[in-house]
Structure 1
Amino acid sequence: MSAARRARAAAAQLAVTTREHKDAALRTMAEALRGRVDEVLAANEADLAAGRAAGLSEALLDRLALTAKRIDGIADGLLTVAGLADPVGEVLRGGILPNGLELRQVRVPLGVVGIVYEARPNVTVDAAGLTLKAGNAVLLRGSSSAERSNAALVTVLREALETSGLPADAVQLLPCHDRASVQHLITARGLVDLVIPRGGAGLISAVVEQATVPTVETGVGNCHVYVDAAADLDVAERIVVNAKARRPSVCNAAETLLVHADVAAAFVPRVIRALADAGVTVHADARFARLAATAGVEPGAVVPAGPQDWDTEYLSLDIAAGVVDSLDDAVRHIAEHGSGHTEAIVTRDVASARQFTGRVDAAAVMVNASTAFTDGGEFGMGAEIGISTQKLHARGPMGLPELTSSKWVVWGEGHVRPGA
């Protein structure tokens, strides 16, 4: 795989590049994006037109769409990354042994990182910026739906790297029409150090199951909001609407609402009206639906929930909703149907919040906050390479530290180990 070999050579150079040089390159990349907005938007509009003609869903079109404001935000993300501490060289632990050997465990770049992703051309820039700052080269394999957008973005980034005196091959875009490019990437052991899939459940499982290169699983987001018996209902309403309707096409959007029976009669009619005003269709269980019937919303705003609804990542203006009798029931429901991404509780009871945060198994658990906050930028990482739902190496939003490994550096003064 020639692209991986070129990336390997670029990674060797980046591994010893100073923070000052990397940060200057990131700033040049941001400036270049802002200076070529029209070029990128024209490419994106061509992708959107092709997507509409192909019948892509509104959720996918939203993920694909770029605007001048979004590009400005993407450029801001690069500047934020430039302002973060460089993880490379950070001492994780160490000391002096009784025999005088000095030990240090330090962060080092992973090397070559592959990203397989669908739509979302912002991932192209986020991945390039984060991997560069962590001293890695990146191989990007986007989807055909974003072919023109990704090509335009990578052209801008590669030219900015050359202007900065860094290898353009630190950022490479792989062919998107040939499935063999994915297979080559995920089986390139010895050339590629890590592969991160981002997209739907089918893409993620295919990469994880077929890869011989180590992978980090970025799972789907079947996120829940649980409104506890002790919830402030004004707060709960704001959080539910924000978590669902702010941007329904992203993985941190809420897909299920659970309401404690003690507050259901008061809360369900008001939240139904708020969700209906936001254009959300509620897939309700029988208890939720009976209470919702008193809300006076238009027909079709509430539909019966089937068994599949509790396991569905809608990525649209739809939400499953049910009434539970206790916090225990909410935790059990989440354990059965959750994807390990983000779960939220709304409550004024500290004991309930502590129970929920302690018992729910997810990469992020929110107390009185929207699930929308599970995001690398919101967590102060500048951007993210993905949100890991697995438990080894990385979990939650993956920023700079998660794009590094470590090595032991040992200093001696002629030390030799005694024989057995």
Structure 2
Amino acid sequence: MTDQTPQTRLELAKEASRATARLTSDDKARALEAIAVALEQNAAAIIAANGRDIERGRSDGIGESLIDRLRLDEKRVAVLAAAVRQVAALPDPVGRVVGGHRMPNGVALEQVRVPFGVVGAIYEARPNVTVDIAALALRSGNSVVLRGGSAARESNTVLVEIMRDALQAAGVTPEAVQTVDDFGRDGATALMHGRGFIDVLVPRGSAGLIETVVTEATVPVIETGAGNVHIVLDESAPDDWAQDIVVNAKVQRPSVCNAVETVLVLRQAAPRLVPLVASALQSEGVAIHGDDMVAGLVSNVIPATEDDWATEYLSLDIAIKVVDTLDDALDHIRRYSTGHTESIITTDSRNAERFLAEVDSAVVMVNTSTRFTDGGEFGFGAEVGISTQKLHARGPMGLSELTSTKWLARGAGQTRG
């Protein structure tokens, strides 16, 4: 891959997409198994490269939330390989009939799923995305062009080399996996302006990165939004569910987009639930940013400002607000949510069904942790990202979301009069 330009890589990916589109389901599954085995066999090299990225990241002061996303250890490499195998085991979406009928003149119509062609991805400090998106793209018959950012450049370089070598060994063109990392910002620009070569572009990362791609790209973009995620606790919320779910949603992995950032407590439940939930969070090292009522019920509360309600902390911080009614909670979510995931803890079926019906987010939950908004947890094996837009795809994006459709018409000499 030396002595090339970003445009050369896009052209190679476009050419390779014609070959990947012709692969059988078994061909694609074998190629992914080869990648999974290669990841396991080269775990030491991956971890060593990742260690260099982490060391550089710490010296650059990129922050613990990004360090957590950047890190690959033995367990995470094993999870990556397992995710690739899970993707390989999923039903192949290509060729699946999604609709059709026979016209009055006898022409038979079928609408079938087909690969997009070339999937582009721009992301930062997420070496797992390098593997996840490549696996999903290949299983759905696409080629892929990756721009993983400078923070993970050592990790991504090794991962791309491993995947390309595995594809070649499996008899699949290695040009189906391309990177433009070595071109820096010029590589990202080529992806964003790659009309005729990039069929869909998926950004994953900070709100700033996503906004840049959405506003500057001249190719189709699927927007994966930030996660200003809410949990509502109503008057009927059981103590143990409220405590366990909020703590899990905040603490299990605070640096990811499905971690809860704001808890809204209905006023009648506040004296019972706020001290309980706040104490459990504080015992896990979470800093609470609260309104006046929260501060009156709990010690060591940071006074919340307007900015707190709109903040995706990605850290051990959380905002807690007391609201008068479910109407007020819904109004708050409509104002501040990024449309990612919201959950309500309740045993009132009317509140539950109203919440499900009225909250306009990609994933809406009742009585469960927001941490489940994840392609792997949803059974997709991995995910391209979590789309917060409404066109084409919404929520965790798996194989089907990397396909389009085309119509097949089979006739017997019919002409239009």
TM class by shorter-chain length? over 0.9
Deviation digits for residues 242-276 of structure 1 (CA, Å, limit 9, x no counterpart): 00011000000000011111111011111111001
- The yes-or-no answer on 1:372 pairing with 2:371 is yes
Q: Aligned to 1:166, which of 159, 172, 177?
A: 172
Matched, 1:336 2:335: yes
Query: Which digits, 9 at most, give the CA deviation of each residue in 1:143-175, with x for residues without a partner?
Result: 101000001111111100001100111111112
Name the CA distance, whole Å, in 1 between partners of 2:375 and 2:271. 37
CA separation in 1, counterparts of 2:96 and 2:242?
A: 41
Change in Cα spacing, 1:176 to 1:266, as seen in structure 2 (3 Å) is farther
2: CA distance, partners of 1:364 / 1:176: 36
Q: Which residue of 2 aligns with 1:84?
A: 90
Are residue 37 (structure 1) and residue 43 (structure 2) matched? yes
Unaligned segments of structure 1, at least 5 residues: 294-298
| Separation in 2, partners of 1:98, 1:65 | 59
Alignment partner, residue 210 of structure 1: 216
Superposed CA deviations along residues 375-397 of structure 1, whole A, max 9, x for unmatched, are 00000100000000000000000
1: distance between equivalents of 2:239 and 2:62? 37
- Secondary structure at the aligned position of 1:405 is classed as strand
Residue 274 of structure 2 corresponds to: 268
Partner residue of 2:11? 5
d(CA) in 2 for partners of 1:39, 1:154: 12
Partner of 1:415: 414
Match of 1:16 among 16, 22, 31: 22
Contact 1:240-1:370 at 8 Å conserved across structures: yes
Shift of residue 178, structure 1, vs aligned partner: 2.4
1:296 corresponds in structure 2 to: none
Q: Which runs of 4+ in 1 moved over 6 A?
A: none
Distance in 1 between the 2:265 and 2:339 partners? 20
Aligned to 2:181, what secondary structure does the other structure show?
coil
Spell out, residue by residue over 1:192-215, the C-alpha distance to the aligned partner (whole angstroms, 9 max, x if none): 100000001110011000111000
Q: Which residue matches 1:306?
A: 305
Amino acid at match of 1:112: V
Does 2:136 match 1:130?
yes
- Secondary structure in 1 aligned to 2:321? strand
Q: Measure, in 2, the Cα distance between the counterparts of 1:403 and 1:54.
A: 35
Residues 237 and 347 in structure 2, CA contact (< 8 A), matched pair in contact too:
yes
Gaps of 5+ in 2: 1-6
What's the Cα RMSD here? 0.8
8 Å contact from structure 1 (residues 144, 177) kept in 2 = no
Query: Matched residue pairs, number?
Result: 411
Aligned CA distance change for structure 1 residues 324 and 177 (closer, same or farther; 3 Å): farther
Q: What is the match of residue 277 of structure 1?
A: 283
Q: Which residue of 2 aligns with 1:25?
A: 31
Structure 1 length normalisation: TM-score?
0.97
Q: Deviations over 1:104-144 (max 9, x none)?
A: 00000000010000101000000000000000000000110
Tell me if the contact between 1:142 and 1:176 (Cα under 8 Å) persists in the aligned partners: no
Partner amino acid, structure 1, of 2:56: A
Identity of aligned residues (%): 52
Indicate yes or no: 2:149 matched with 1:140: no
- One-letter code of the match for 2:374? D
Please name the residue that 1:323 is paired with.
Answer: 322
SS in 1 for 2:344: strand
1:76 and 1:169 mapped to 2: Cα distance? Answer: 24
TM-score of the superposition, structure 2-length normalised? Answer: 0.98
- 1:212-236 per-position Cα deviation (integer Å, ceiling 9, x unaligned): 1000000000000100111112101
